[in-house]
Amino acid sequence: MAENQYTEDNIRSLDWKEHIRLRPGMYIGKLGDGSAADDGIYILAKEVVDNCIDEFVMGNGRKVEIKVHEGKVSVRDYGRGIPLGKVVEVVSKMNTGGKYDSKAFKKSVGLNGVGTKAVNALSSHFMVYAVREGEKVEASFSQGELISKGEVEKTDEPNGTYVEFIPDETIFKKYAFKTAYLDKMIWNYCYLNRGLSIHFNGQKFQSKDGLKDLLENNMDGDPLYPIIHLEGEDIEVAFTHGRTYGEDYYSFVNGQHTTQGGTHQSAFRESVAKVIRDFYNKNYEPSDIRQSIVAAVAVKVIEPVFESQTKTKLGSQEIEPGGKSMRAFINDFLKEKLDNYLHRNQDVADTIERKIKQSERERKELSGIRKLARERSKKSNLHNKKLRDCRVHFTDIKDERREETTLFITEGDSASGSITKSRNVNTQGVFSLKGKPLNCYGLTKKIVYENEEFNLIQAALDIEDDMDNLRYNKIVIATDADVDGMHIRMLLLTFFLQFFPDLVKRNHVYVLQTPLFRVRNKQKTFYCYNEDERKAAIEACGKNPEITRFKGLGEISPDEFKNFIGEDIRLEPILLTKESSIDQILSYYMGKNTPERQDFIIDNLRVEGDLADELEEIEKAS
């Protein structure tokens, strides 16, 4: 048996671009195709824009222009511009940048000198130019390799930096930018940088009141009382109570949206409950104080420590090295500012206390029902019968596969059987529904525990007590593409939006897209997701191809299903836009307004094949 050889020939040094392209996850988190807000293409865009924001924070340039068209991103700021002699080095030489000077970029987002280099290495086309005092230098790259570098030339352009790039399709396969995700990212920049204007594809984004604007634009329905907006040195908070279940937080560090929270968000949750308890001098449960809270907190930290390269969770325990702890910093701020506010606004204080007492009553009413539901579930072992779990969970912080964790919610045994046989047992779980769920619109949370299906879904996700316990990063509704399947999809979305809206707001909920047709001949097989793809496949196959219409997930064999839930999975995210109101959406689609809704469907829906026939029958029957 030959021994494994380990010699000098086995030792290899990678240059900066090779390492980034070989291990992109180390630099941008994950790849993805653009269907999730934290997919790599958005991280690339953010890395470029972050540099523009740092310029604005330092008092240079109040305007940024961003364009995204057919996969190409361009960003232009009007700051000082990269020093002309360093244009190439700044975007292609590791550990090179202006942010190492702590005086210049004391509270910057990116201090590692990696951001734009990663964008450069992971782009098929990357071009940068800088303008300083009437002079300009331009350079172009492909996959990190320098293609051309221009000489210094005269220009009438104002100072600043321009970057354009096209993500490399050999790394980001079949990607597409979603405007809703870019809109949200740009709005966050504006909320945190009042006075900055960002022009995105011709539309102007600007904020006057910072985090107060953020809550006003993102809250579902009217708040119970006017938004409390407090500011201090290196900290800004805004919060109120809404009319939905759960706790909803937006947290930021040095302008970075920490979507997974961190020490600053934990300190705020703890401190706001403590200050309110002290104000009323009553030992209210923190969960009752925070029930239905909607809050935003932004802090500025010197040399922040994040738990990943993509900076989505703050790990810093102190506001600055050797300084006050994060907990003490936020608690002291709220103890002064919030306590003073409540003393000056007695009507708001009275509303908050009424809300706390209401939450307390609801919690006590639910406690007995929750206990019975747990006992019933445990006794019948229904949880294990309905859920086929995976081995890795979203709570496994140290497992790099946690972002891939997915729970498919399917209808019926045949569909769940196909997915179960073809899934990745490490990261993909399956929950099997029995028939159609209840329409829970307008019902109280009591139904979550009394209804067996809803109680078990909640238990499978482990979100009963805290959203931070969520066991799967993606919750994927996998139903047939027919009338019944779409109805089940709406009933499940009603459940999530009614009782766990944070799951949707944090981009955890998706719909699985499965092919409607298979078109093949002896040499080629095409899976088609719409009529246009079917026509193109028929043309590609030539004369008399075999065409199969998949009417349900159960009709797709496990061997084929592997193609649709593996690397080439197509997921449609459930997005709530700034204009969306959960209550308005649910009352329209799930409330008692059937004639109005039916007229809308008949007037606006354009479908083909079996679904069109079924809708025609519905129209005739009405």
Per-residue CA distances from 488 to 212, 435, 436, 481, 482 (Å): 37, 9, 6, 11, 10
Question: Domains along the chain?
Answer: 16-204 (3.30.565.10), 211-363 (3.30.230.10), 382-514+550-591 (3.40.50.670), 594-622 (no CATH)
- Reading the block at residue 53, the tokens are 């924001």
Residues constituting the chain: 622
Q: 135-180, pLDDT tens digit by residue?
A: 999 999 999 899 999 888 999 999 999 999 999 999 998 899 999 8
Q: Strand pairing partners for 295?
A: 239, 249
Average pLDDT over residues 546-559: 82
Q: What is the pLDDT of residue 131?
A: 93
* Sequence-separated (6 or more) residues with CB below 8 Å from residue 555: none
* Tens-digit pLDDT profile for residues 83-102: 888 888 888 876 555 554 54
Most confident of 408-422, 505-519, 555-569: 505-519
Going from the C-alpha of 98 to that of each of 111, 113, 121, 158, the distances in angstroms are 9, 8, 20, 21
What is the per-residue pLDDT across 430-467, written as a single tens digit (0 to 9) for each? Answer: 999 888 888 888 888 888 888 888 888 988 898 877 78
**CA-to-CA separations, 599 to 439, 580, 593, 618, in angstroms, rounded:** 21, 21, 10, 11
pLDDT band (50, 70, 90) for residue 619: very low
pLDDT of residue 612: 45
- Asked whether residue 385 carries a pLDDT value surpassing 80, the answer given is no
Taking all residues of the chain, what is their mean pLDDT, rounded to a whole number? 83
Span 232-281, pLDDT tens digits: 998 999 999 998 888 889 999 988 888 888 889 999 999 999 999 999 99
Of 606 and 84, more confident: 84
pLDDT at residue 614, as a whole number: 45
- 3-state DSSP assignment of residue 306: strand
How high is the pLDDT of residue 608? Answer: 40
**What is the percent of the chain where pLDDT is above 70?**
84
229 versus 598: the higher-pLDDT residue is 229
Look up tokens 């997921």; give the residue: 571
